[in-house]
Each structure stands twice: as C-alpha cells, then as structure tokens.
C-alpha cells in the first residue's frame, strides 16, 4: 500500500478500530487483557464437564444447530463464539440435556450471532 492510499484509508481504518477497542479510552494493554481473559475462560472448560457448566458465561447461539457440536456465544460479548462437542447421556432427547458431557471445545472465534 502506497502512502497516498494509506492516507485516504486512514479515517476508515481509525473508525473500524475504534469500534473494536473499548470506548472508555482504554489503552491497548487493557484490550489485550480482555482478550487474555476470554482465552482463560475458554481454557477453563474441560472435557468431562457437563453442559450445564457453560450456562454461567456462555449461551447457545441462534439459528439452525445440531446436538453436537453446538455453537455458544460469550454472554458479555456475543461476537465471541466456541463450538462444543458433547456426548449425550439421553439420546432420545433431540437437543441433549444439561447433564450431557463435554467432549471437546474449539478455539474461540469471532462471528456475528445467528438469529432464528
């Protein structure tokens, strides 16, 4: 990118990054801490935990889903998602139970929430 196009795109870039960074005038270190907190939150989910253990910090994404894997949104930032695979304890229930067992968790990723 040459200097001229960089200068022309500068306002758009600033507008885009300002919508991502905290609006309280937070420094990049604060943003980095927030990202690290999300990573720590995901790492706390362990295979063998129950589906109901996700309820405190995560909620099911909207849209069409299958019982496993399920998409979950971070309650405090709904553009942060994870995919969670479960072992169903009652296969007669289409979408599982709170006692289903977590088998694996994806890395967190960014995506707009799905709506029904």
* N-term to C-term CA, the chain: 41
Q: Containing H/E element for 58?
A: strand 58-60
Q: Which residue has the higher pLDDT, 93 or 97?
A: 97
The answer to the question of residue 54 being in a domain is: yes
Average pLDDT of the chain to the nearest whole number: 81
Task: Report how many domains make up the chain.
Answer: 1
Q: Is the pLDDT of residue 24 over 70?
A: no
pTM: 0.72
The answer to the question of residue 23 being in a domain is: yes
Tell me the residue range of the domain where 82 lies: 3-110
Q: Give per-residue pLDDT as tens, 34-67.
A: 889 999 999 999 999 999 999 999 999 998 887 7
Q: Give per-residue pLDDT as tens, 1-14.
A: 444 444 444 444 44
The answer to the question of residue 76 being in a domain is: yes
**pLDDT confidence of residue 1:** 43
The answer to the question of residue 19 being in a domain is: yes
């Amino acid at each position: 990118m040459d200097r001229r196009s960089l200068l022309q795109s500068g306002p758009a870039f600033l507008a885009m990054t300002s919508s991502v960074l905290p609006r309280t005038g937070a420094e990049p270190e604060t943003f980095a801490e927030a990202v690290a907190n999300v990573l720590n939150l995901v790492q706390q989910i362990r295979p063998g935990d129950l589906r109901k253990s996700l309820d405190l910090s995560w909620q099911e994404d909207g849209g069409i889903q299958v019982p496993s894997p399920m998409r979950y949104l971070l309650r405090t930032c709904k553009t942060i998602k994870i995919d969670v695979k479960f072992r169903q304890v009652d296969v007669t229930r289409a979408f599982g139970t709170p006692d289903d067992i977590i088998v694996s968790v994806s890395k967190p990723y960014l995506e707009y929430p799905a709506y029904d």
